[in-house]
Amino acid sequence: MASPSHPVQAPVVVLGGGPVGMVTALALARRDIPVIVLERGQDEVQSEWRGSTVHPPTTELLDELDLAAPMLAEAVRVHRLDYRDLELTETARFPYELLEGETRYPFRLQFEQYKLVRLLRQAVAQDPNVDIRFGHDVVGLRQDDTQVTLDVAVDGTRTAVTCSWVVAADGAHSTARKLLEVPFPGFTYPTMSLVVATPFRFEDAVPDLGAVGYWSGPRGRFSLIRTPDIWRAALSTGTGVDDEPPSGTHPDFLAAVALLLGDRPDAGELPLSQHQMYRSHQRLAASFRIGRVLLAGDAAHLSSTTGGMGLNSGIHDAVAVAAALAEPDQDAATAAYAQRRRSIAEQFVQPTTTENRTSADGVELAGRRERLIRLRTLAENPEDAKEYLRRVSMLGIQH
């Protein structure tokens, strides 16, 4: 690899071209702060079904970046949350209309993450304050009290980028976090999760089916989420993280669908557009600021996907870190960012997602019935139901 060329200088460098990195870059640019984005991959967004939930406060933040309108034009609007069981008759329903007056967007959106990234990259490409560079792999990082220098590999050569601040939004396997040797304690759930996408018309087969439904069942949680193009089913499996995932359609998925659809002749013949196993984690970086490097999104914290808080909290990080870097006293503002966002992750996001995952994964019949009765009791009291929706929608904790 060649020696470093003359360093390129920038006020802020953002690592990562995913949703958190793109929101950070756009929010900085809208404040007239020039930014360079370094993305390891190429300028192509794969059509992968990953996160899809956008909570009301996140829609508000995206609206400030002029992105809410194109998202709303295509997204599925969720007007209620339904909790059911694959074997029990007890149900609980929380209507989002209870949040009217609490937010400009009293509904949840389902909009695939890859589509949001495409919208963000289009917006970034049109902003002269953003220089986004694909195929740039950070391989080294050093800093002092005034600047950060990044060693970057590009097409077999090596260059340097020097900046005042780095925002590391480079995901769960963050290079910056590893180069800085930031502890990332936590745990990995012992069993796998599965996402299945299918064009099967569940709305024709399941009575009174809303856009989002959460079921408990004899093998754990099972959810159905309608996105603009397709139904997504997510479930816990009995497959351990060290086990070889079964080939073909997973037996736990087939068992859940059989309970959901009953004796329909097509219950076992669902066409699949995706069949993906993944691990879930709960991890939290020891610090969100290391010198002049700031962590955001999955680089800073990982949480269970149950409830859709990972993508949303990452976008909240992005807006907050951009606001901090726009303050006259950047040192104090970024220190406050790191403390505040880490506190939110530690005291709200991780406990909430852990409780969501643990309670939804319960398989004992009595425990499942007790959970549904508890949720129904909350749902039947408007004030309790509103407070529940505020919490699961992350209202009031985004800044």
Indicate the number of domains in the chain. 2
pLDDT in tens, 168-193: 999 999 999 999 999 999 999 888 88
| Same domain for 147 and 41 | yes
pLDDT reported for residue 306: 79
| Same domain for 134 and 29 | yes
Return the DSSP state at 231.
Answer: E
- Nearest 5 degrees, angle CA 355-CA 360-CA 362? 105
Instruction: Establish if 38 belongs to a structural domain.
Output: yes
Residue 5 has pLDDT above 50, yes or no: no
Greater confidence (386 vs 399) lies with: 386
CATH of the domain at 322: 3.50.50.60
pLDDT in tens, 82-129: 999 999 999 999 999 999 999 999 999 999 999 999 999 999 999 999
Say how far apart CA 363 and CA 187 lie, in whole Å: 22
Banded pLDDT at 3 (limits 50, 70, 90):
very low
Of 254, 249, 196, nearest to 225 by C-alpha is: 196
pLDDT in tens, 284-318: 999 999 999 999 999 999 998 878 899 999 999 99
Q: pLDDT exceeding 90 applies to what percent of the chain?
A: 72
pLDDT in tens, 335-363: 999 999 999 999 999 888 888 788 888 89
| Same domain for 148 and 62 | yes
Banded pLDDT at 399 (limits 50, 70, 90):
low
Instruction: Establish if 103 belongs to a structural domain.
Output: no
| Same domain for 133 and 59 | yes
CATH of the domain at 247: 3.30.70.2450
What tokens were used for 218? Answer: 């004899």
Say how far apart CA 254 and CA 237 lie, in whole Å: 11
Q: pLDDT exceeding 70 applies to what percent of the chain?
A: 93
| Same domain for 130 and 17 | yes
- Residue written as token pair 């909350």: 378
Contact between 17 and 121 under an 8 Å Cβ cutoff? The reply is: yes
pLDDT reported for residue 49: 65
Q: DSSP alpha helices (H): ranges in the chain?
A: 19-29, 56-64, 68-74, 113-125, 175-179, 202-205, 251-261, 309-325, 330-344, 350-360, 365-379, 382-392
Tell me the sheet residues that pair with 187: 282
- Edge-first strand listing for the sheet containing 222-226: 92-95, 80-85, 212-216, 222-226, 231-240, 191-198, 274-278
Q: DSSP alpha helices (H): ranges in 87-236?
A: 113-125, 175-179, 202-205
pLDDT reported for residue 6: 47
pLDDT reported for residue 264: 66
Contact between 122 and 160 under an 8 Å Cβ cutoff? The reply is: no
pLDDT in tens, 8-66: 577 999 999 999 999 999 999 999 999 999 999 987 777 666 789 999 999 999 999 99
Instruction: Establish if 43 belongs to a structural domain.
Output: yes
| Same domain for 375 and 254 | yes
Instruction: Establish if 83 belongs to a structural domain.
Output: no
- Amino acid letter for position 198: T
| Same domain for 332 and 247 | no
Q: Give the other-Cβ count within 10 Å of 369's Cβ.
A: 16
Instruction: Establish if 274 belongs to a structural domain.
Output: yes
What tokens were used for 373? Answer: 């009765």
What tokens were used for 137? Answer: 């792999």
| Same domain for 123 and 247 | no
For 145, left (φ over 0), alpha (ψ -120 to 50), or beta?
alpha
Q: What are phi and psi of 258, to 5 degrees?
A: -60, -40
Please give the helix or strand (H or E) that residue 161 lies within, else none.
strand 157-168
| Same domain for 176 and 201 | no
The residues near 323 (Cβ < 8 Å, ≥ 6 apart) are: 27, 333, 337
What tokens were used for 354? Answer: 């852990």
| Same domain for 117 and 35 | yes
| Same domain for 135 and 56 | yes
pTM above 0.85, yes or no: yes
Of 100, 98, 106, 52, nearest to 74 by C-alpha is: 52
| Same domain for 343 and 212 | no
Rounded mean pLDDT of the chain?
91
Instruction: Establish if 85 belongs to a structural domain.
Output: no
Say if strands 293-295 and 157-168 run parallel, antiparallel, or are unpaired.
Answer: parallel
Q: Show the domain range for 155.
A: 8-75+111-186+282-360
